[in-house]
Structure 1
Amino acid sequence: MLNALEVFTTVVVGLMVGVEFSVAFVMNPILNALPEDSGQLGHAHGGRMLGTLMPFWYTGSLALSALWAITGRHHHGVGLVVIAAALLILSVIMSLLLLVPINNRNKTWTPDNRPEDWKEQMNRWLLFHYLRLALIITAFTLLVTALV
């Protein structure tokens, strides 16, 4: 049973890393290259769509990692799992304090109501996203290492 939990947790966190990597290095460049207001509208739509899904994914990944750490507390690699869970906690806190407030504003913006500094706010969100991505990539790497 523990082996299934370990593999499932690693896959769930790995998929989350893949989605967040894609947001940073695939979707944002595509949206930013779109003409006129299309990019901003795409960012708003993405903020609504992923803003609904990602809280469950982040907290689910954290819960699975914590369950792995508790269940496997006497097994090899549990220290790595605990560190990974701590990094996931940090990513959730970072999301709530830094990224979610910007995303909550962004998802309501249209070309008619967006603020003058909307691009600066989106760039700040992207910087925080890169930092969060580094945390979850590190957590994922630790989980993979603990798994093997």
Structure 2
Amino acid sequence: MLDALEVFTTVVLGVMVGVEFSVAFVMNRIFSGLPDDANQQARSHGGRMLGALMPFWYFGSLVLIAIWAAATWGDGDTGLLVTAGALLVVSIVMSILLLVPINNRGKTWTAETRPADWKEQMSRWDRYHYVRVAVIVAAFAVLVTALV
């Protein structure tokens, strides 16, 4: 049963990291190459879609890591699991304080209602997102280290 939890947790977090990596280094670059209206519309739609899903994915991953850590408490890998969980907490706090406010504004914009500085706001979101991706990649690396 513990093996299944370990694999499931690793896959759930790994796929989340892959999605966030793709948003940072693939999707947003594709969107930026589109005309302004299409770029902004794609980002707004992505913000609505992923904005609804990612909180469950982040918190779900954190809960899975916590369950794994509790199930193996006192073993040699507990410190690694706590570190991975702490990094996820950092990414969640970053999300709530830095990324979600921008996303909540951006997901409501249309070509007619977007502010003049919308590109600057999206660039700020991208910069914060790069840091968040680095944090969750580190969490994933630590988690995989605990697995092996």
TM-score by length of 2: 0.98
Report the Cα offset of residue 58 of structure 1: 0.3
- Whole-Å separation in 2 of the counterparts to 1:147 and 1:115: 46
In the other structure, the counterpart of 1:27 is: 27
Residues 68-108 of structure 1 show CA distances to partners (whole Å, capped at 9, x for unaligned) of: 11111132311111000000011111101100000000000
Identity across matched positions, percent: 65
| Secondary structure at 1:37 match in 2 | helix
- Whole-Å separation in 1 of the counterparts to 2:84 and 2:44: 31
Flag structure 2 segments of 5+ consecutive residues without an equivalent: none
- Whole-Å separation in 1 of the counterparts to 2:27 and 2:14: 18
Matches within 5 A, 1:76-115: 76-115=76-115
* Number of corresponding residues: 148
Residue identity matched to 1:142: V
TM-score by length of 1: 0.98
**Is 1:55 aligned to residue 59 of structure 2?**
no
Report the Cα offset of residue 2 of structure 1: 1.3
In the other structure, the counterpart of 1:73 is: 73
Report the Cα offset of residue 66 of structure 1: 0.8
- Whole-Å separation in 1 of the counterparts to 2:122 and 2:10: 30
In the other structure, the counterpart of 1:3 is: 3
- Deviating above 2 A after TM superposition, structure 1's stretches of 4 or more consecutive aligned residues are none
Flag structure 1 segments of 5+ consecutive residues without an equivalent: none
- Whole-Å separation in 1 of the counterparts to 2:85 and 2:8: 15
In the other structure, the counterpart of 1:133 is: 133
- Whole-Å separation in 1 of the counterparts to 2:130 and 2:112: 29
Residue identity matched to 2:125: W
- Whole-Å separation in 2 of the counterparts to 1:32 and 1:71: 45
| Secondary structure at 2:73 match in 1 | coil
Residues 84-142 of structure 1 show CA distances to partners (whole Å, capped at 9, x for unaligned) of: 00000111111011000000000000110111111110011011101110110000000
Report the Cα offset of residue 36 of structure 1: 3.6
- Whole-Å separation in 1 of the counterparts to 2:132 and 2:51: 15
Q: Using a 3 Å threshold, how does the CA distance of structure 1 residues 53 and 37 change in structure 2: closer, same or farther?
A: same
- Whole-Å separation in 2 of the counterparts to 1:142 and 1:36: 39
In the other structure, the counterpart of 1:64 is: 64
